[in-house]
A and B are shown apart, each in its own frame.
Chain A
Amino acid sequence: MSRIQIIVARLALLALVLAVWELLPRLQIVNPLLLPPLSDVMSTLGNLLLRAQVQEAIGVTAAEVIVAFLIAVPLGAALGVLISENEYVGEVFKPLLFYVFSIPKSIFLPMFILVIGINFWQKVAYAAFTTTFVVLISAASAVESVKQEYILVARSYGATRTQILTRVYVPSMMPLLLEALRISMIFNFTGVMIAEMYASRTGIGHLISGWGENFQMRELFAGVIILSAVAILFNETVRFFEDRCSTWRT
């Protein structure tokens, strides 16, 4: 199949999904109370975005996501580099980190609430906690992916330690780092959502769980669309850069 054909087929699939969403409730095949038609959801979405309460919630959620990301990515990356560069630290900490990584992080959420309370920083702390592990593990494998011969080549041409870091490590790790960034944002977003839906006074996650409990299905689906759009946009932006350096992988 040619590139154009694939794009047409993809658009057709998207149109099909949206059409099914619109038609099933309209034709009473699915109860419109459970699945409101797409057009209704879209008009609700428009109204919601104008509401001060929703705008504030979006702002809070965005701030939580960004702050947690800004904490987790450098922290996880630094720890990941540390355990893969320092043999001793790696030997000591790796098993523990891998064990903790395998535990579902949501079971620690009540502890975050007990220690920090229900507020902005509890969401940030919980999301950063879940995300740090993902970044850490990815960063460690990114460092280990750097081929020794590249370092040897750079050294033979008289590269300094800083030059080896910036001219060999960074470009060499870039494909894996971008992938880590993308996946960690998925975890980060999920962390904030879970924390907001579990116990919160504001934020999109809080609104969505409230709409769900009150059977406000149009608002619920509108919230889902907002979140999906933001998540997909971030993911695809990073993936765009990832594709551009995919040929570096050897």
Chain B
Amino acid sequence: MQHMANLNIPVAEREPAGAAHAKAAIEISDLSHVYAGAQGGVPALEDISMRVGSGRFVVIVGPSGCGKTSLLMMMAGLRAQSQGEIFCHGAPIRAPDPRRVGVIFQEASLFPWLSALDNIEFPLSLRGDPKDERRRRAEKMLELVGLGGFGERYPHELSGGMKQRVSIARGLVQDPPVLLMDEPFAALDEQTRMTMGHELLRIWSLTSKTVVFITHSLTEAVYLADEVLVMSARPGRIIDRIAIPLPRPRNYEMMATDVFGQLRERIWQQIRSDA
């Protein structure tokens, strides 16, 4: 641990001063999960405790199969954990609740039989909102993600980056305070990925959502996050919490700075020492 001190990087457990007393957007204490299986099952997640302050951008990184996607699915109420409770703005999450939590999945997972606008409207149509109200909101979201005028296109007529923009718009259309993102840009090429990350920060700054974001890319993690949580290999535990003190708005030049490199290195050390 000696070398850590030299880097002069604060270990973050706290939120910006103003938000310190606000109710956490996501609060998890002592969550564990065991997959059913032979010999009493396979432990997948162990003693997960975390707190995501309202309006914060938290990124979870960890090796493949560490259970980070499972953890996100639990936050979304799509999967049940064996033990522990997840609170979102003070109330437990036990089933999907699109009014509190929006999910953006790994691949765009847009419905190929619906146009971009109809895809964005889908969550609203499930709860039976009137047609013109739905259309108005969907068009607003499409503008927000920079795809105004592409509403009538079908997913197969859109590029990978555009599909993910539509997917983000779909996640935002119900205006949930929390956005969960499961490696949303993993399938994109490197340039598009960086552009989309930057775009996401722009959208985030306009909407003041709380974001929990999963990625494999350490560069992406440092670039996007207020705080990075590092998970261990299975059974997944949170082995480090790293505050990212880079100022906002972020820009590409920051990636070349020493601080950026040191932060990235620290995450890498954690993941490597665990492997």
Contacts and interface: CB of A to CB of B under 8 A. Distances in A.
Interface of A: 147, 149-150, 152-159, 163, 167-168, 171-172, 174, 245, 247-250
B112 A248 contact: yes
Nearest to A245: B113
A247 B154 CA distance: 9
B98 A158 contact: yes
Contacts of A147: 109
Interface stretch (B43-51, B58-66, B120-128): B120-128
Contact of B126 (A167, A171, A245, A248): A167
Contact of B113 (A155, A156, A159, A172): A172
A250 B156 contact: yes
B103 interface: yes
B109 A163 contact: no
Interface residues of B, number: 22
B105 interface: yes
Contacts, number: 56
A230 to B, nearest CB: 31
B118 to A, nearest CB: 11
User: DSSP majority for the B interface?
Assistant: loop
19 contacts: A147-B109, A149-B106, A152-B109, A153-B103, A156-B96, A156-B102, A156-B103, A157-B126, A157-B174, A158-B96, A158-B97, A158-B98, A158-B127, A167-B126, A171-B111, A245-B113, A247-B156, A249-B112, A250-B112
Contacts of A149: 105-107, 109
Given A158-B127, A247-B156, A152 B107 contact: no
Interface string B154-187: 1010000000000000000010000000000000
Contacts of B80: none
Contacts of A159: 126
A152 B126 contact: no
SS class of chain A's interface: helix, strand, loop or mixed? helix
Contacts of A155: 78, 96
B98 A157 contact: yes
Interface string B111-149: 111000000001100110000000000000000000000
Contacts of B156: 247, 250
B171 to A, nearest CB: 9
A79 B150 CA distance: 41
Nearest to B97: A158
B113 A157 contact: no
A159 to B, nearest CB: 5
B145 to A, nearest CB: 17
A153 B113 contact: no
B95 to A, nearest CB: 8
B225 interface: no
B78 A152 contact: yes
A202 B193 CA distance: 69
B212 to A, nearest CB: 14
B76 interface: yes
A247 B96 contact: no
Given A156-B103, A157-B96, 4 more contacts: A147-B109, A150-B109, A155-B78, A250-B112
B78 A157 contact: no
Nearest to B101: A156
B154 A153 contact: no
B207 to A, nearest CB: 18
Nearest to A149: B109
Contacts of B102: 156
